[in-house]
């Protein structure tokens, strides 16, 4: 991978804080003209440092009041079971993030739904229907700090 210099790191930080910032604004903040700034951003995209742009959504504004951290352990660690579980999780719109982790559990899921009843329905009718799940532990987010 290409080494990142301090200007690259400044560009990354600026885009992380505001992905809609245009090249002229970025150039002004890092002390370069627009053309070299544009070329640096394109290089960062080309080498895979910048993988895309996204919008941060206020989940409450779209009716997703409840955020759940869900820890899932599989019954076994055979490739077929892992593949089935991972494929199924990718299809569930309620799962906003999914991580394969090391430690006491196998997966950490972030579930976003409207309320507790909706989470119960999701748990019973979608998550529990995925083969190879051994155990599920749920923690409910009370507030987001960072």
Domains and CATH numbers, the chain: 6-46 (1.10.10.10), 59-140 (3.30.70.920)
Residue 43 is inside which H or E element, if any? helix 34-46
pLDDT of residue 118: 97
Phi, psi of 72 (to 5 degrees): -120, 130
Q: How far apart are the first and last CA of the chain?
A: 29
5 pLDDT exceeds 60? yes
Q: What is the overall mean pLDDT for the chain?
A: 95
For 40-92, the pLDDT digits (tens) are 999 999 999 999 999 888 989 999 999 999 999 999 999 999 999 999 999 99
pLDDT band at 112 (very low <50, low <70, confident <90, very high): very high
Q: In sequence order, which residues have a C-beta less than 8 Å from that of residue 85 and are 6 or more positions away?
A: 72, 74, 107, 130, 131, 132, 133
């Amino acid at each position: 991978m290409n080494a990142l210099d301090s200007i690259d790191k400044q560009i990354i930080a600026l885009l992380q804080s505001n992905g809609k910032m245009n090249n002229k604004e970025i150039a002004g903040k890092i002390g370069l003209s627009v053309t070299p700034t544009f070329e640096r951003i394109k290089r960062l995209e080309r080498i895979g440092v910048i993988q895309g742009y996204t919008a941060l959504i206020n989940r409450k504004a779209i009716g997703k009041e409840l955020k759940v951290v869900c820890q899932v352990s599989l019954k076994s660690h055979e490739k077929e079971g892992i593949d089935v579980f991972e494929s199924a999780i990718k299809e569930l719109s309620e799962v906003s993030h999914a991580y394969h982790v090391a430690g006491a559990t196998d997966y950490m899921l972030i579930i976003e739904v409207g309320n507790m009843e909706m989470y119960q329905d999701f748990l019973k009718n979608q998550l529990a229907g995925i083969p190879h799940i051994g155990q599920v532990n749920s923690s409910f987010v009370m507030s987001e700090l960072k």
